[in-house]
Amino acid sequence: MSLTHKLIIILFFMSVGCTSRTDSASKNLESHGMSTLQRTKYSYIGQAAREIDLKLSFKKEAISIIKASVQVPYNYNSPFQYRWKLGSNVSLVQGSLAGTIDSLQKGEVAEVIIKVKNFNAHENRFVRFEVFGTDPAKRIFSDGIVSSHQESSFESIVQEVEKIHADK
């Protein structure tokens, strides 16, 4: 057997040994109730837990009112930053597209309201809202989108299909 073949065999067994050690290490963590999967989402702001309860609602009129309700499941003692992003042809009439929400206590709800025009057009229009906590030790994030034609949105179609399956 040549030296090259011996080196290949040695490298093979070394890689198998390293792989089995990694598997047993992750199994060991799981047996202690610790997951090896991250519970956060990597977004453009970095890693952030998706722990903010965000609800978006709107009232379509000539000047539409769009409201974001923000809540957290625990006391968060740092401010939040928020940002609205308007889809094409939607324009701001009243409110601010970016701003800050003071710290929130568990159960407390902060509301951010804007008024826009062209949200009730015949074409589908979108408005997006995102909010994130600014504490560098506890980064949290949430975002959502509303459509001027909610009935044709993916979420609405899924709910309709689920309703049909439930009626069977």
Tell me the per-residue pLDDT of 100-153, one tens digit each, with 9 for 90 and over: 999 999 999 999 999 999 987 677 888 999 999 988 888 888 888 888 876 665
**Residue 43, C-beta contacts closer than 8 angstroms, at least 6 positions apart:** 141
pLDDT digits (tens, 9 = 90+) for 40-73: 555 555 667 788 899 999 888 889 999 999 999 9
**Tokens read off for 151:** 């009935």
pLDDT digits (tens, 9 = 90+) for 67-103: 999 999 999 999 999 999 998 899 999 999 999 999 9
Distance of alpha carbon 131 from alpha carbon 97, whole angstroms = 12
Q: In the chain, what are the domain boundaries?
A: 41-160
User: Is 41-160 a domain of CATH 2.60.40.690?
Assistant: yes
